């Protein structure tokens, strides 16, 4: 039996079957999924949980949905122009108020459902069970309401899953391994009640909900907890607290944590990082997804050694824990972070990259004695994954290396080739992109003073930048999982 005849037979068999319960559930579910509204709602619920892994799942699901929707509602339907099923076999209880008029093949609703569910599954399999059931219901509803043949739905499911897996090629899910589990254990105080622990809380970071300080006080009643005021000098407050503590703790975003690392390194104190910002890059790499994770670590004494990156800027030493960047990379990171909560990290990165390459000018640098003309220069504290333009996590935090990546502005059509390589997941083969690891890096600007971005903070203009490890730091970390 040919495929269209089989599709017709299955569709007719479905609608000969009486299913009063499904008649009450599936049509409203199908309407709820119109224009992706259902999945936007689910993504909002995942984001509202405050858990980083669920927020990443929401972003990845929406990113896959955007790709799948573009594929099905664009070339997918244009190339097939398959008529919708005949409505005379669909009962009134099942019919949609506004039947769709576009091509029947493939099912856009099914593609969006599969794309979102696959994205959630790649980041957080446990959460994907409920989302998967919801996606299956949406797919079934398209046959039940007479909007699609079964073959349209199966094709849509395949397109959606493939779109999200394709996205994962250039924006891989986070590693399930806690990176610092492989680092040497560090000897740190064990503080079940918080004795000897001083924590500085920057309530203005992230969502600014002001609940972190109360949670810390409840879990560590003997700890000193100080909330920063709007006029406080962050490094000065941290230094003051460090003088009376055995452990210096900090709750805030990456910029606040970076300042705390400098103080802890100077005072030779272990650092307790409590996620309190929007993105919490360093805390995530430590295996600390929540405030509860961090408090558990200080109560049990789970800690390891991490590298602290250092950069001498016009003779003044500064430290960083995550990344440092020059040229358009700093601008690209800021633009990506402004958009990634709406678009997802990979789509936001592509848009930001295109904007920066279109609007910014290349800079003339002397890198380790070699004159270079570049669009972007990135240096990560330890080696980042994936090996492309969206560095997201580190497998180790103590490897003694810097991860250097740049875009060469002298290559013909460098900007166009770079964006094409990012979109196709073949950045490593793009001649304009270079990457290497090194223990140190000397950079001198030949384009006047430039601003260096460190852990999301942009510094004053300078001409010389010398990177090297500033030291090693004891940091509380997540336990084995």
Instruction: Clarify whether residues 25 and 158 are in a common domain.
Output: yes
Does residue 23 lie within any of the structural domains? yes
Whether the model clears a pTM of 0.75, i.e. scores above it, the answer is: no
- The region of weakest confidence among 47-51, 105-109, 334-338, 444-448 is 334-338
Beta bridge partner(s), residue 367: 370, 443
Among the listed residues 232, 33, 273, 37, the one whose alpha carbon sits nearest the alpha carbon of residue 145: 33
Torsion angles phi and psi, residue 102, rounded to 5: -80, 180
- The region of weakest confidence among 77-91, 335-349, 358-372, 456-470 is 335-349
Instruction: Clarify whether residues 437 and 344 are in a common domain.
Output: yes
Does residue 481 lie within any of the structural domains? no
Domain count, the chain: 3
* Mean pLDDT in residue range 184-189: 81
* Mean pLDDT in residue range 398-406: 94
Does residue 356 lie within any of the structural domains? yes
Supply the CATH number for residue 376's domain.
2.60.200.40
Does residue 466 lie within any of the structural domains? yes
- The region of weakest confidence among 36-50, 199-213, 392-406 is 199-213
Instruction: Clarify whether residues 266 and 122 are in a common domain.
Output: no
Instruction: Clarify whether residues 328 and 426 are in a common domain.
Output: yes
Q: What pLDDT is recorded for position 481? A: 40
Among candidate residues 170, 204, 237, the one where a domain is terminated: 170
Does residue 305 lie within any of the structural domains? no
Going by pLDDT thresholds of 50, 70 and 90, the confidence category of residue 237 is: very high
Residue that wins the pLDDT comparison between 183 and 173 = 173
Among candidate residues 170, 203, 220, the one where a domain is terminated: 170
Instruction: Clarify whether residues 467 and 335 are in a common domain.
Output: yes
Distances (CA, A) of 310 to 98, 236, 462: 62, 20, 15
Contact 130, 116 (CB under 8 A): no
Contact 421, 433 (CB under 8 A): yes
Does residue 315 lie within any of the structural domains? no
Structure tokens at 428: 């490593």
Average pLDDT over all residues of the chain:
84
97-155 pLDDT, tens digit per residue, is 777 777 888 999 999 999 999 999 998 888 888 999 999 999 999 998 888 889 999 99
Considering the chain, what percentage of its residues have pLDDT values greater than 90?
40
264-288 pLDDT, tens digit per residue, is 999 999 999 998 765 677 888 888 8
C-alpha 438/C-alpha 376 separation (Å) is 18
Instruction: Clarify whether residues 23 and 147 are in a common domain.
Output: yes
Supply the CATH number for residue 230's domain.
3.40.50.10330
Q: What pLDDT is recorded for position 361? A: 77
Whether 411 has a pLDDT exceeding 80, the answer reads no
Instruction: Clarify whether residues 116 and 218 are in a common domain.
Output: no
The helix or strand, by DSSP H or E, that contains position 96, with its residue range, turns out to be none
Residue that wins the pLDDT comparison between 163 and 52 = 163
Whether 208 has a pLDDT exceeding 50, the answer reads no
Q: What pLDDT is recorded for position 1? A: 46
Going by pLDDT thresholds of 50, 70 and 90, the confidence category of residue 49 is: confident
* Mean pLDDT in residue range 70-98: 78
Going by pLDDT thresholds of 50, 70 and 90, the confidence category of residue 418 is: low
Instruction: Clarify whether residues 144 and 263 are in a common domain.
Output: no
Among candidate residues 241, 269, 300, the one where a domain is terminated: 300
Instruction: Clarify whether residues 274 and 376 are in a common domain.
Output: no
C-alpha 172/C-alpha 479 separation (Å) is 23
Domain range spanning residue 146? 3-170
Does residue 312 lie within any of the structural domains? no
Instruction: Clarify whether residues 437 and 354 are in a common domain.
Output: yes
Q: What pLDDT is recorded for position 89? A: 77
Instruction: Clarify whether residues 33 and 84 are in a common domain.
Output: yes
Instruction: Clarify whether residues 150 and 220 are in a common domain.
Output: no
What string of DSSP letters covers 104-147?
Answer: -SS-HHHHHHHHHHHHHHHH-HHHHHHHHHHHHHHHHHHHHTTS
Whether 75 has a pLDDT exceeding 90, the answer reads no
Supply the CATH number for residue 138's domain.
1.20.144.10
Does residue 307 lie within any of the structural domains? no
């Amino acid at each position: 039996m040919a495929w269209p005849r089989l599709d017709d037979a299955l569709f007719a068999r479905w609608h000969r079957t009486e299913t009063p319960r499904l008649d009450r559930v599936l049509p409203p579910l199908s309407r709820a999924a119109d224009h992706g509204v259902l999945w936007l709602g689910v993504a909002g619920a995942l984001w509202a949980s405050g858990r980083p892994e669920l927020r990443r799942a929401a972003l990845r699901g929406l990113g896959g949905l955007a790709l799948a929707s573009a594929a099905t509602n664009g070339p997918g339907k244009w190339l097939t122009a398959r008529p919708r099923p005949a409505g005379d076999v669909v009962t009134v209880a099942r019919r949609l108020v506004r039947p769709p008029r576009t091509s029947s093949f493939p099912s856009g609703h099914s593609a969006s459902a599969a794309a979102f569910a696959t994205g959630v599954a790649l980041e957080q399999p446990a959460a994907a069970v409920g989302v998967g059931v919801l996606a299956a219901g949406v797919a079934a509803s398209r046959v039940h309401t007479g909007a699609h043949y079964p073959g349209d739905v199966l094709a849509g499911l395949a397109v959606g899953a493939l779109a999200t897996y394709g996205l994962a090629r250039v924006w891989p899910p986070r590693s399930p391994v806690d990176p610092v589990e492989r680092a040497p254990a560090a000897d740190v105080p064990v503080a079940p009640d918080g004795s000897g622990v001083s924590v500085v809380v920057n309530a203005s970071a992230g969502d600014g909900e002001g609940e972190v300080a109360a949670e810390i006080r409840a879990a560590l009643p003997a700890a000193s907890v100080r909330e920063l005021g709007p006029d406080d000098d962050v490094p000065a407050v941290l230094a003051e607290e460090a003088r009376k503590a055995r452990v210096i703790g900090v709750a805030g975003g990456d910029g606040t944590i970076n300042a705390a690392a400098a103080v802890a390194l100077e005072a030779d104190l272990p650092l307790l990082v409590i996620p309190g910002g929007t993105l919490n890059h360093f805390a995530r790499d430590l295996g600390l997804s929540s405030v509860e994770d961090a408090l558990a670590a200080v109560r049990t004494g789970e800690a390891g050694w991490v590298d602290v990156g250092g950069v001498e800027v016009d003779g003044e030493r500064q430290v960083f824990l995550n990344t440092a960047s020059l040229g358009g990379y700093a601008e690209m990171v800021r633009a990506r972070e402004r958009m990634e909560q709406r678009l997802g990290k990979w789509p936001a990165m592509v848009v930001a990259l295109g904007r920066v390459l279109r609007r910014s000018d290349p800079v003339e640098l002397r890198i380790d004695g070699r004159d270079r003309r570049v669009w972007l220069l990135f240096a990560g504290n330890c080696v980042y994954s994936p090996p492309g333009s969206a560095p997201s996590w580190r497998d180790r935090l103590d490897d003694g290396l810097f991860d250097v990546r740049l875009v060469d502005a002298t290559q013909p059509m460098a900007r166009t080739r770079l964006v094409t390589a990012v979109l196709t997941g073949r950045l490593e083969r793009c001649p304009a992109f270079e990457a290497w690891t090194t223990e140190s890096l000397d950079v001198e600007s030949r384009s006047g003073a430039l601003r260096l971005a460190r852990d999301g903070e942009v510094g004053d203009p300078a001409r010389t930048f010398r990177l090297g490890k500033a030291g090693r730091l004891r940091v509380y970390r997540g336990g084995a999982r």
